[in-house]
């Protein structure tokens, strides 16, 4: 195998109409890059019978029509794709998202600072100085799991999850950072809010981010946040996106 | 002309559902769709719709509706269900047949006996715009279907076809009977996270559906399924029918509104052939599982599809009988006339 340092993929049935192509069991950029590369390969040159794929941290879930292809046939077709996979780490789009880490828009910032032994400013600085990879979308429509969070910012989830997390909250927990697209219950620490919408089912594509994107946050003050939010609501919002090299 | 169905009482949880919203699971968008896709297909077939047309999914307690279009053809697919007409004669139209009702007709939908979900289809379908390719309602996300929510009193859901349809009413001569046997599962993808005893227990024990049951999933009570390697996994994709087992060791059977990804190990997944039966489980129901190989599960699905196609192929027109009593009634409500007869043949 050309990628001899990497574990061989496993092909695991998820019932009779889906199978997971699993590249590892950890959260790391190299494993996730293989997942995204396979999803991309299947998008460019579809395998007959595949109805939909779902990239996750370490595996690609392949939904298929069992009336068209058997499990064994699907495994065979996917094995070929995996063998010919060209994996590029860190080649996704570059996206910069403004975020306000202040006051009511950052309800847990003070506690995060206290627990991590930093000042609030340092927490913001560390969070905004890191480039994150979108590993997958899940939990809620458009909810991006992004990592990895610098060691100094890592905290376990809240022991008692909130019943109501406001929409567009910027959050951290364990080695991940994320944005809640909609109001929902949630157990992550809320350290900021973004002025942009992450999910609109009527838009094309419906989600602002996709697996493989590289995301940075740009800290903005409250007046700037309010202006950006107004612009976004007026349909004049723009996001700083650099497309991936072809 | 316009009109459709006005909601006089919404029932427990009545939503518009089709086969589901596919293509956006990679963005975290749940599929939703009918809990029992077979019954949706049958209801649609009875009124001459495409199999995946959206219909009203009626859970446990059905709605009371009023026809506001000049005429609507309807059919209910529900085990033991019926449509009660609120008229002078309190007529009862059994499930598994179509009926055409005039403007002003009021109907109470009985969702079925001992099952969760029934489907009320109307000929031509509901005039509700699709969202990302589907008319299914995802209530948790407030998306799709009728205003992203379950029906409420006062709603009026418009119909696409509002005049009396051509052609005879139709019925299923031999309605389906709900099987109560074990749900067949394919082990994995994380069966290696469980002890051998847990796998044996899964396939031998009886579980009970708890009151924590909704369109997202069913929490099951029963013997604890013991993890071998901890109860957290790196989140990965889910499928309808997946039995995920959180730290409590008590499995959750994922259904139509399931999240697209999850962080608990999945010990097994219910076969697609048995998924409609899983969707009919109610709190208090007992359920047990049998593990089969994936090839057997796919063969079972093919058999299941063939049986369903045969059932749909057996739908027959109801021939009008020109006796006096019939003629007297037919000008008011065509198609209801043979209700009693069709009902008695249901046993």
Cβ separation A206–B141 shorter than 8 A = no
The nearest alpha carbon in chain B to A201 belongs to B132
Q: Does residue A107 register a pLDDT over 50? A: yes
pLDDT (0 to 100) of residue A91: 78
Residue B222 half-sphere exposure, CB side, CA atoms within 13 Å?
A: 24
Asked whether B46 and B168 are in contact (CB, 8 A), the reply is no
Q: Does residue B338 register a pLDDT over 70? A: no
Cis amide bond preceding A169, omega within 30: no
Q: Does residue A1 register a pLDDT over 50? A: no
Residues 178-197 of B with CB under 8 A from A: 185-186, 188-189
How are beta strands A214-219 and A94-99 bridged, if at all? parallel
Confidence bin at B340 (pLDDT 50/70/90): very low
pLDDT (0 to 100) of residue A6: 64
Tell whether B290 lies on the interface with A, counting CB pairs under 8 A: no
Which stretches of chain B are DSSP H helices? 37-46, 196-204, 275-279, 294-313, 324-330, 339-345
Instruction: Tell me what the mean pLDDT of segment A48-55 comes to.
Output: 97
d(CA A235, CA A222): 20
Confidence bin at B292 (pLDDT 50/70/90): very high
How many cross-chain Cβ pairs, A to B, lie less than 8 Å apart?
Answer: 152
Q: Does residue B320 register a pLDDT over 90? A: no
pLDDT (0 to 100) of residue A4: 45
Instruction: Tell me what the mean pLDDT of segment B283-295 comes to.
Output: 98
**Which of A20, A53, A199 shows the shortest C-beta gap to B189?**
A20
Q: Does residue B197 register a pLDDT over 80? A: yes
Tell whether B292 lies on the interface with A, counting CB pairs under 8 A: no
Q: What is the pTM of this model?
A: 0.90
The nearest alpha carbon in chain A to B275 belongs to A15
pLDDT (0 to 100) of residue B326: 47
Q: Does residue B333 register a pLDDT over 90? A: no
Q: Does residue B327 register a pLDDT over 50? A: no
Collapsed DSSP state (helix, strand, coil) of residue A72: helix
Q: Facing residues of A186 across strands?
A: A162
The CATH T-level fold of domain B183-306 is Cyclophilin (2.40.100)
Contacts B270 to A, Cβ<8 Å = 15
pLDDT (0 to 100) of residue A233: 93
Asked whether A119 and A113 are in contact (CB, 8 A), the reply is yes
Q: Mean pLDDT across chain B, nearest whole number? A: 91
pLDDT (0 to 100) of residue B149: 98
pLDDT (0 to 100) of residue B336: 47
pLDDT (0 to 100) of residue A88: 81
Please state the three-class secondary structure of A97-164 as a single string.
EEEECCHHHCCCHHHHHHHHCCCHHHHHHHHHCCCEEEEEECCCCCCEEEECCCHHHCCCCCCCCEEE
Confidence bin at B342 (pLDDT 50/70/90): very low
The nearest alpha carbon in chain A to B266 belongs to A14
A167 alpha-carbon distance from chain centroid: 17
pLDDT tens figures, B28-65: 999 999 999 999 999 999 999 999 999 999 999 999 99
Q: Does residue B323 register a pLDDT over 90? A: no
d(CA B220, CA B225): 11
DSSP designation for B322: -
Cβ separation A67–B302 shorter than 8 A = yes
- Between helices B37-46 and B294-313, what is the axis angle to 10°? 20
Contacts A66 to B, Cβ<8 Å = 272, 297-298, 301
As a 3-state breakdown, chain A gives helix, strand, coil percent values, each rounded to 5, of: 25, 30, 45
Other C-beta atoms within 10 Å of B347: how many?
Answer: 6
**What's the count of helices (H) and strands (E) in chain B, helices before strands?**
6, 23
Contacts B237 to A, Cβ<8 Å = 14, 18, 20, 54, 56, 59-61
d(CA B141, CA B212): 19
Tell whether B161 lies on the interface with A, counting CB pairs under 8 A: no
pLDDT tens figures, B67-107: 999 999 999 999 999 999 987 788 899 999 999 999 999 99
Q: Does residue B329 register a pLDDT over 70? A: no
Instruction: Tell me what the mean pLDDT of segment B274-297 comes to.
Output: 98
Cβ separation B26–A17 shorter than 8 A = no
Give me the residue spans of the domains in chain A.
Answer: 10-83, 94-242
Most confident of the ranges A112-121, A200-209, B228-237: A112-121
Closest CA to B21 of B56, B46, B54: B54
CA trace torsion A119, A121, A124, A130 (10° rounding): -90
Contacts B305 to A, Cβ<8 Å = 67
CATH architecture of A94-242: Beta Barrel (2.40)
Residues B212-251 as b or e (16 or more Cβ within 10 Å = b): ebebbbbbbebeebebeeebebbbbbbbbbbbbbbeebbb
Per CATH, domain A10-83 is 3.30.1360.40:
yes
**Which of A12, A19, A142 shows the shortest C-beta gap to B27?**
A142
Closest CA to B275 of B183, B187, B210, B208: B183
Cβ separation A138–B297 shorter than 8 A = no
Asked whether A133 and A167 are in contact (CB, 8 A), the reply is no
Q: Does residue A89 register a pLDDT over 80? A: no
Cβ separation A13–B272 shorter than 8 A = no
Instruction: Tell me what the mean pLDDT of segment A6-20 comes to.
Output: 93
Give me the residue spans of the domains in chain B.
Answer: 4-172+317-345, 183-306
Closest CA to B177 of B240, B96, B253, B121: B96
Asked whether A115 and A72 are in contact (CB, 8 A), the reply is no
Confidence bin at B164 (pLDDT 50/70/90): confident
Cβ separation A71–B295 shorter than 8 A = yes
Instruction: Tell me what the mean pLDDT of segment A212-231 comes to.
Output: 96
Cis amide bond preceding B189, omega within 30: yes
- Which of B52, B191, B238, B239 best tests the A interface by mutation, with the highest count of A CBs <10 A? B239
Evaluated on CA atoms B323, B326, B331, B337, the torsion sign reads negative
Confidence bin at B1 (pLDDT 50/70/90): low
Cβ neighbours for B159, distance < 8 A, ≥ 6 positions apart: B3, B4, B5, B69, B72, B122, B124, B125, B126, B127
d(CA B155, CA B267): 42
Instruction: Tell me what the mean pLDDT of segment A70-85 comes to.
Output: 96
Collapsed DSSP state (helix, strand, coil) of residue B120: strand
Cβ separation B297–A72 shorter than 8 A = no
Closest CA to B51 of B40, B62, B63: B40
Q: Of residues B329 and B257, which shows the higher confidence score?
A: B257
The nearest alpha carbon in chain A to B260 belongs to A138
């Amino acid at each position: 195998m050309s990628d001899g340092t990497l574990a061989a993929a496993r092909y695991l049935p998820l019932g009779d109409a889906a199978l997971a192509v699993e590249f590892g069991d950890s959260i790391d950029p190299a494993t996730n890059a293989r997942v995204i590369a396979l999803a991309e390969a299947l998008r460019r040159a579809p395998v007959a019978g595949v109805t939909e794929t779902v990239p996750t941290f370490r595996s690609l879930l392949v939904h298929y029509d069992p009336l068209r292809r058997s499990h064994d046939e699907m495994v065979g077709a996917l094995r070929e794709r995996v063998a010919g996979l060209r994996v590029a780490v860190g080649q996704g789009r570059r996206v910069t998202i403004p975020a306000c880490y202040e006051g009511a828009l950052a309800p847990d910032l003070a506690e995060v600072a206290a627990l991590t032994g930093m000042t609030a400013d340092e927490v913001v600085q560390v969070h905004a100085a890191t480039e994150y990879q979108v590993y997958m979308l899940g939990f809620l429509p458009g909810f991006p799991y992004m990592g990895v969070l610098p060691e100094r910012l890592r905290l376990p989830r809240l022991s008692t999850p909130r019943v109501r997390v406001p929409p567009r909250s910027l959050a951290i927990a364990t080695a991940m950072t994320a944005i809640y697209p909609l109001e929902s219950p949630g157990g992550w620490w809320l350290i900021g809010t973004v002025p942009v919408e992450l999910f609109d089912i009527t838009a094309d594509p419906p989600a602002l981010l996709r697996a493989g994107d590289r995301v940075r946050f740009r800290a903005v003050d409250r007046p700037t946040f309010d202006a950006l939010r107004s612009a976004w609501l007026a349909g004049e919002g723009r996001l700083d996106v650099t497309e991936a090299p072809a | 002309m316009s009109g459709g169905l006005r909601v006089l009482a919404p029932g427990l949880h009545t939503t518009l559902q089709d086969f589901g919203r596919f293509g956006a699971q990679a963005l975290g968008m749940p599929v939703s769709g009918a809990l029992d896709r077979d019954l949706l297909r049958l209801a649609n077939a009875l009124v001459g719709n495409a199999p995946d047309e959206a219909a009203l999914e009626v859970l446990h307690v059905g709605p009371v509706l009023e026809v506001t279009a000049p005429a609507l053809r309807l059919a209910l697919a529900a085990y033991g269900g019926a449509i009660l007409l609120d008229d002078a004669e309190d007529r009862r139209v059994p499930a598994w047949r179509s009926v055409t009702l005039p403007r002003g007709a009021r109907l109470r939908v009985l969702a079925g006996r001992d099952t969760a979900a029934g489907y009320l289809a109307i000929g031509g379908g509901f005039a509700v715009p699709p969202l990302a390719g589907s008319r299914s309602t995802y209530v948790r996300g407030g998306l799709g279907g009728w205003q992203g929510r379950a029906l409420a009193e006062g709603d009026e859901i418009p119909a696409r076809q509002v005049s009396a349809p051509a052609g005879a009413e139709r019925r299923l001569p031999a309605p389906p009977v709900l099987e109560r046997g074990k749900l067949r599962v394919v082990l994995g993808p994380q069966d290696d996270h469980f002890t051998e005893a847990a796998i044996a227990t899964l396939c031998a024990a009886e579980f009970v559906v708890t009151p924590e049951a909704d369109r997202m999933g069913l929490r099951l009570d029963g013997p604890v399924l013991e993890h071998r390697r901890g109860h957290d996994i790196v989140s990965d994709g889910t499928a309808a029918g997946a039995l995920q087992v959180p730290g409590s060791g008590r499995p959750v059977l994922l259904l139509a509104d399931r999240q697209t990804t999850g962080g608990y190990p999945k010990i097994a997944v219910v076969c697609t052939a048995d998924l409609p039966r899983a969707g009919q489980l109610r709190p208090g129901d007992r359920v047990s599982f049998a593990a089969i190989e994936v090839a057997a599960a796919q063969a079972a699905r093919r058999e299941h599809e063939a049986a369903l196609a045969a059932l749909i192929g057996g739908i027959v027109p109801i021939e009008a009988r020109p006796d006096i009593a019939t003629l007297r009634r037919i000008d008011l409500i065509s198609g209801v006339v043979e209700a009693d007869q069709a009902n008695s043949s249901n046993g």
